[in-house]
Amino acid sequence: MKMLIGGRWVDRDEKIEVIDPYDNSVVDTVPSGNEKDVLAAIESAARGFETMRRLPTHERVAILRRTAEFVARDKEKFARMIAREGSKTIREARKEAFRCSNTLQIAADEARKIVGETVNFDAAPGSENRVGYYYRFPIGIIAAITPFNDPLNLVAHKLGPAFAGGNAVVLKPATVTPLSALLLAEAFLEAGLPPEALQVVTGRGDRIGDVLVTDPRVRMISFTGGPEAGESIARKAGLKKIGMELGSNSPVIVMADASFDLAVECSVSGAFWAAGQNCIGVQRIYIEKPIYEKFADAFVARTKKYKVGPKLEEDCDMGPMITEGEAKRIESWVNDAVKAGATLLAGGKRRGAVYDPTVLADVPEGARVGCEEVFAPVVSLYPVENLEEAVRLSNGTDYGLLAGIFTSSIENAFYAIREMDVGGIIVNDSSDYRVDQMPFGGVKRSGLGREGIQFALLEMTEPKVVCFNLQGIGR
């Protein structure tokens, strides 16, 4: 496939192979973009912005709706591309394709709601003859940098609100999973998006990233990825808006009064969805002691039933990690934890890029699997005396994205809501729950700002104040 610059599909002699991590087959190739490509993309986006900011709201709505319809029409093509270039099973990929279409429909709805309000200037003495209002206007060129784990829907989460607000976008998709993003770009163009409103530059981040994030013509960076990369971008970006959804180490609390089967099933799914490569995936589970042994046994038994590996088979439960290097990383982390005293309850085996669903207990303090983001199919179980201890341990990392709690007590639920230092709490489901219209983001090293279409749209527009001095009207 080719990259999209200046309204044209552009190729380069230097290519990047997109590899299926399960069998190492080549899915396709994309151009290896360079600094000149990024600069050309930004220059084209500047022209695209002049078109987009003048585009009537009803035309933005129509483009977003048509794109959503095209994704729904071609959902199986999108799903197979998601599954082949990444880690998701075909069933997981179909859900992502559905969500992408839904995300764009939400963006179309929100485009109609970009409103301001009147300002009571006469509330200030001396301004009795003044009236006015504010409205929101697009900020300009947005650099969107997206990760590998949701290669379609997380692109839609950036493009949807950007176009709803009248902006232009330069998109840098993940190097290892650019194909789904390019398919979405094709759908936008088919839907009538002005050709220069969207640029898609494929290439390696260390080669093109700095050029993109430092250019002063880029007025906002919307980034999803690791905290180290996020911190680097923040240091280099200069005076522009930054929205970042970074890492996590999501905790789930299971109280003795919880609906037991619900807690087990949701927590297993939350831990191993997309091979655990999920920013809100369950990583730590704190279980009240009276049910700890029962929960651990049931959790392990359910985990061992997972069918792993052949992503395109309908009964496959979990695919490979994104690269063999990533699988080797988590293999090392787990081995280190076991050497330090952790107990391996399930999994712990690697075959190429496939790492079996893994459950640990007795994880010692300071082990990387417990205090860092594993981004892998590894979960640790911890017994706790009470809710207060569970909350204290949950808060004991540098991350704070989403958390979950299973309990039948409204008092327990509201204690967790009040005391847990996270961007969102899911009651009676795992941390791995999200709908595309909710505000999404975290605290501490988990990010800056909020995604979710309505909330991203506020970040991607600015208020402009208009004030009339009536003394100068009609004279």
Cβ neighbours of residue 312 closer than 8 Å, sequence gap 6 or more: 80, 83, 84, 89, 90
d(CA 43, CA 434): 36
Q: Which of 85, 92, 96, 245 is catalytic?
A: 245
User: HSE (CB half, 13 Å, CA atoms) of 138?
Assistant: 27
Q: How far is it, in rounded angstroms, from Cα 254 to Cα 265? A: 12
- Residue ranges of alpha helices (H) inside 283-408 are 292-303, 324-339, 368-371, 387-394
Identify the active-site residue in 96, 279, 316, 326. Answer: 279
CB 245 within 8 A of CB 397: no
Distances in Å between the alpha carbon of 410 and those of 66, 115, 251, 391? 43, 37, 19, 16
CA atoms of 265 and 446, how far apart (whole Å) = 26
**Quick count: other Cβ atoms within 10 Å of Cβ 231?**
13
Element (H, E) at 61: helix 57-73
Location of structure tokens 């987009």 = 52
Q: How far apart are CA 103 and CA 164, in angstroms?
A: 12
Q: Does 279 participate in catalysis according to the annotation? A: yes
Active site residues: 245, 279
